[in-house]
Structure 1
Amino acid sequence: MDLGISGKTAIVCGSSQGLGHACALALTEAGVNVVINGRDAAKLDAAAAAIEAHAEGRVTPVAADICTDEGQAALLKACPAPDILINNNGGPPFTALADLDRDDIRRGLEMNMVTPITLIQKVIDGMVERGFGRIVNITSVTVKMPVAGLDLSSGARAGLTGFVAGVARTVAHRNVTINQLLPGYFDTERLRQGFDATAAKSGTTPESAAQQWQQQVPAARFGRPREFAQTCAFLCSADAGYLTGQNILIDGGLHRAAF
């Protein structure tokens, strides 16, 4: 399927591994020139090489902490006028409420709410002026289906969701869209960290924890990052301009609700 975005430019945050990496790959396969990002330069370079092996578009790695002004400036120096922004960042680790302190809460909000908002601020006016823009925020199924221990991550991502809901409606007439993708249990490093945390808490093994989590999913398996990335790529496509302000679950039926 031709997505109609060959030659466009994109920034994909948190793309040295996991869902961000898969999204960057899917966009480059569609001919998009992508800036990928992570804090570990060696891991990022390896990710860039892996993507380039399949890419139609160019890949530019930028090692930076996007929670800092300097990190965001580095991304925008590499891609001053992005047509596409994929906001993705790691979340706080599994932590009991009693163990969270004020600094933890500030960091969680910075990672999963403040940082994506500030990046949107820095790119959206240019998108509006050019008459094309696609912003996708990767949040989590826990925005709709909270998981104890991920309260800070869920709360910060829910805050982002609420913040951009109004913004999305103010730019839709200029062919600029803002949507959220809410992943469930995908086979990523972060999911495996969840297995470890569950095992430590319950006195079982990570393998047993993984089996317990998988049994919760009606699809009877964990998601594949490429499945997630293909949906992300469509949201960035030329034909997705009438889809905005939405929160799209990709969870194998994990969240049991009709609406």
Structure 2
Amino acid sequence: MDLGLTGKTAIICASSKGLGRGCAEALAAAGCNIVINGRNTDVLEETRLALSTRFPVTVTAVAADVSMPKGQRTLLEACDAPDILVNNNGGPPRRDYTELDRAALLEGAVQNFVTPVELIQAVVPGMKARGFGRIVNITSMSVKMPIEGLDLSSGARAGLTAFLAGVCRQLAPHGITVNNLLPGKMDTDRLKGGFDRMSQASGKSLETVRSEQAAEIPAKRFGTAEEFGETCAFLCSKHAGYITGQNILMDGGLYPAAF
């Protein structure tokens, strides 16, 4: 399917690996020139070279922490007029709510609420002028259901969801859509790190923990960065111009609800 994205430009935050990289790959495959981002310069450059080799598009790598104003400026200097913005950022580490002090609470809110709003504020004027824009926020299944130890991440991402529910209606007349992708258990380094902790705490082998976790999912497997990226690319396409303000779960059926 032609997504109508050839020649468009996309910023994908935190995209040197994991779900962000999956989105970058899918958008590059659709013909987008992409700006990828990460904090580890070696991993970022490896990703840039891999994507540049695979796809006939411009791949620009920006090493920066997008949670910081300086990092945002660096990113936007590399691409001041993106057609597409994919907001992504690492979430706070798993921690019981009783262990969160004020500094941790504020850091989590900045990472997963303040930063995406600031980037949206920065790119929307250009999108309005061009009459086209796609904004996809990678949030979490925990927006809809609690996950033990991820209360701060859940709260910040749910706050972003509520904030943008009104904003997206303001942007719709300008050809700009805003949607959220809610990953469940995706086969990424973050998930693997959780399995390592479970294995150490329970005494079970890593393979046993992994099998037990997969068995809880109706699809009986974990999601992949590739299929996640393809969904992101569709939401950015010419075919998705009538989809906005939506929270799209990618969880293999794990969230048990009809609505």
TM interval, shorter chain, is: over 0.9
Aligned equivalents of 1:39 and 1:17: distance in 2? Answer: 11
Deviation at 1:209, TM superposition (A): 2.4
TM-score for the superposition, normalised by structure 2? 0.97
Question: What does residue range 137-148 of structure 1 map to in structure 2 within 5 Å?
Answer: 137-148=137-148
**156 and 205 in structure 1: CA distance in 2 versus 1, 3 angstrom threshold:** farther
Whole-Å separation in 1 of the counterparts to 2:153 and 2:103:
14
Contact 1:196 1:205 in 2 (8 A): no
In structure 1, give the amino acid aligned to 2:88: N
Between 1:186-195 and 1:79-88, the stretch displaced more is 186-195
Task: Give the match's secondary structure for 2:54.
Answer: coil
Where 1:159 maps in the other structure, the secondary structure is helix
Compute the displacement of 1:145 (Å): 1.5
* Structure 1 position 107 matched with structure 2 position 75: no
What is the match of residue 97 of structure 1?
97
Q: Tell me whether 1:40 sits opposite 2:31 in the alignment.
A: no
User: What is residue 173 of structure 2 aligned with on the other side?
Assistant: 173
Shift of 1:194: 1.5
Q: How far did 1:238 drift?
A: 1.2
Asked if the contact 1:32/1:56 (under 8 Å) is kept, the reply is no
Cα drift, residue 203 of structure 1: 4.2
The answer for the alignment partner of 2:243 in structure 1 is: 243
1:15, 1:38 within 8 Å by CA — same for their partners in 2? Answer: yes
Q: Which residue of 2 aligns with 1:22?
A: 22
Moved runs in structure 1, 4+ residues, more than 2 A? 196-209
Q: Deviations over 1:98-136 (max 9, x none)?
A: 222111111111111110110001001111111000000
Query: Does structure 2 conserve the Cα–Cα contact (< 8 Å) formed by 1:6 and 1:57?
Result: no
- Secondary structure of residue in 2 paired with 1:22: helix
Q: Deviations over 1:191-223 (max 9, x none)?
A: 112212333444434333222211110000011
What residue is the counterpart of 2:218 in the other structure?
A: 218
Matches within 5 A, 1:22-101: 22-101=22-101
Question: Residues 207, 94 of structure 1: CA spacing in aligned structure 2 closer, same or farther, 3 A cutoff?
Answer: farther
Q: C-alpha offsets along residues 78-111 of structure 1, whole Å, 9 cap, x if unaligned?
A: 1010000000011011111222211111111111
| In structure 2, C-alpha distance between the alignment counterparts of 1:88 and 1:71, rounded to whole Å | 14
Letter in 2 for 1:54: R
The CA distance in 1 between the partners of 2:17 and 2:64, in whole Å, is 15
CA RMSD of aligned residues (A): 1.1
What letter is aligned with 2:69? D
Give the gaps of 5 or more residues in structure 1: none
Q: Can you give the 5+ residue segments of structure 2 that lack an aligned partner in the other structure?
A: none
Conserved in 2, the CA contact under 8 Å of 1:30 and 1:56?
no
CA separation in 2, counterparts of 1:34 and 1:81? 12
Paired residues in the alignment total 259
- What SS does structure 2 have at the residue aligned with 1:136? strand
**Partner residue in 1 for 2:197:** 197
Q: Is the 8 Å Cα contact of residues 30 and 57 (structure 1) preserved in structure 2? A: no
Hey, what's the Cα distance between the residues in 1 that align with 2:93 and 2:205?
A: 18
